[in-house]
Amino acid sequence: MGDRSQSAERPADVKIILLGDSAVGKSKLIERFLLSNYSPQQHSTYALTLYRHTVPHPADSSRQLTVEWWDTAGQERFQALHPSYYHRAHACLLVFDLTRKVTYKNLEAWYSELTKYRSDKIPVVVVANKVDAEPDRAQKSFAFVDRRKRCRDEDLPLFCVSASDGTNVVAAFQEAIRRAVNFKESSSSISCLPRTSSSQPRSTVQPESNQADFVDEVLRFIEEEEQRPDGIFRGAGTKDEDWDKEDASRAGMAVPVAKGWREGSVGAG
């Protein structure tokens, strides 16, 4: 008991934040990844929930890392999150709902919000949740991801996942951990270098213009699919206001609770 208490008091080695619209499944993704092995800590002052998780170091399995996952706890409104949410974060999972196109379109706003507080451009892993909603939609989405894998820059990965059945969740979260550790260690190395007029820190993070290009590409993909009768958005609603009328509880029911989850222990993403 004492060891667990002391561990909770020590600063985490890595902090990873989740961003995205309400009910895209952020909390359910964390719960799916951690299953029963997590320790939620409620901080009502900032309306967020922390989850601590110990993992082997990505480059050295003999070393253990404490990863802290920060969840928005229902405060998913632009400019509504406290600045401390972004402070000292080492990576970000940017989550959207594959069945709700408005959550795609809001990626750009969330990314702008992130860069407003983090000008050092922390690594971003983009996550498309709920690929299990319809088999046809999932198949088309995976085809889209395959095209992205052939042409994307390695510094902005995109994962299609399912919090319901676990598809790709571990891979996405492990990628976020790996990039967070690399970012922290690279930043620490750079900060220890002597400052001279001729030396320029070498950035290991994708330039902002390339990340913005990715968001533009996603939006173009959405527009193309909307025009196709067999596109992935068929029957999913085409007007943003249709989704604005949804409340979080109804949207959260789109993904069934998987067997073994403690329903009610974590709020809907």
pLDDT digits (tens, 9 = 90+) for 68-88: 999 886 666 766 788 889 999
Number of domains forming the structure of the chain: 1
Q: What percent of the chain has pLDDT over 90?
A: 22
Confidence label for 139 from pLDDT (cuts 50, 70 and 90): low
Lowest-pLDDT range of 30-34, 35-39, 60-64: 35-39
- The SS3 call for residue 158 is strand
**pLDDT value at position 81?**
82
Closest CA to 125 of 97, 166, 95: 95
Give me the sign of the Cα torsion angle 130, 135, 139, 140. negative
Answer whether residue 197 is part of any domain. Answer: no
- Give the whole-angstrom CA distance, residue 223 versus residue 11: 44
Identify the H or E element spanning 186.
Answer: helix 169-192
Residue at 266 is within a domain: no
Task: Note whether residue 181 is domain-resident.
Answer: yes
Q: Where are the beta strands (DSSP E) in 137-186?
A: 158-160
Look-up of token digits 């196709």: 228
Which residue has better confidence, 80 or 257?
Answer: 80
**pLDDT greater than 60 at residue 2:** no
Task: Kindly state the tokens that stand for 206.
Answer: 């994708």
Question: Residue 237: which domain range?
Answer: 2-189+206-252
Q: Is residue 264 part of a domain?
A: no
**Lookup: tokens for 30:** 């964390």
